[in-house]
């Protein structure tokens, strides 16, 4: 955890902002540094603290395995099956209507939401 605060101090020196997420992840207390390059928030001149703003947005890029590790308690069985297909390249249940060569033909819909203020 000390290393996270050192990284946060570096962020504060470079960008003037030091951001941390403190909360609960998988029923355990959790803290992590948030990279200011991938974080946007309400820049109202009357706000003193980020948490007082009406909105914030964090971009997170992570491999499928990390998605499973972080959010497995919040994912349904159907979501876990889709992640398993992405990891292994094979459907976890019977093939049904899917082609064994093209496992993702219309079965998985990926959505990318991008914040134009972060580019």
**Domain layout of the chain by residue ranges:** 1-42+53-58, 62-94
Q: What is the mean pLDDT of residues 10-18?
A: 90
* Closest C-alpha to 56, from 24, 9, 21, 29: 21
CB 31 within 8 A of CB 22: yes
pLDDT digits (tens, 9 = 90+) for 42-60: 889 998 888 898 998 989 8
- Would the pTM of this model clear 0.85, i.e. be above it? no
Strands (E) located in the chain: 19-25, 28-34, 39-41, 56-58
Helix (H) or strand (E) holding 10: helix 2-15
DSSP string, 29-43: EEEEEE-GGGEEE--
* Closest C-alpha to 19, from 47, 38, 44, 46: 38
CA distance 118 to 56: 11
Of the pLDDT bands very low, low, confident and very high (cuts 50, 70, 90), residue 78 is confident
């Amino acid at each position: 955890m000390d290393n996270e605060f050192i990284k946060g101090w570096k962020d504060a020196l470079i960008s003037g902002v030091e951001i941390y997420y403190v909360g609960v992840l998988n029923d355990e207390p959790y803290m992590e540094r948030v990279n200011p390059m991938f974080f946007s928030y309400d820049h109202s001149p009357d706000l003193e603290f980020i948490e007082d703003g009406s909105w914030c947005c964090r971009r997170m890029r992570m491999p499928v395995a990390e998605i499973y590790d972080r959010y497995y308690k919040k994912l349904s069985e159907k979501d876990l099956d889709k992640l398993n297909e992405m990891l292994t390249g094979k459907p976890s249940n019977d093939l049904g209507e899917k082609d064994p060569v093209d496992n993702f033909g219309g079965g998985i819909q990926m959505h990318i939401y991008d914040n134009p203020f972060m580019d």
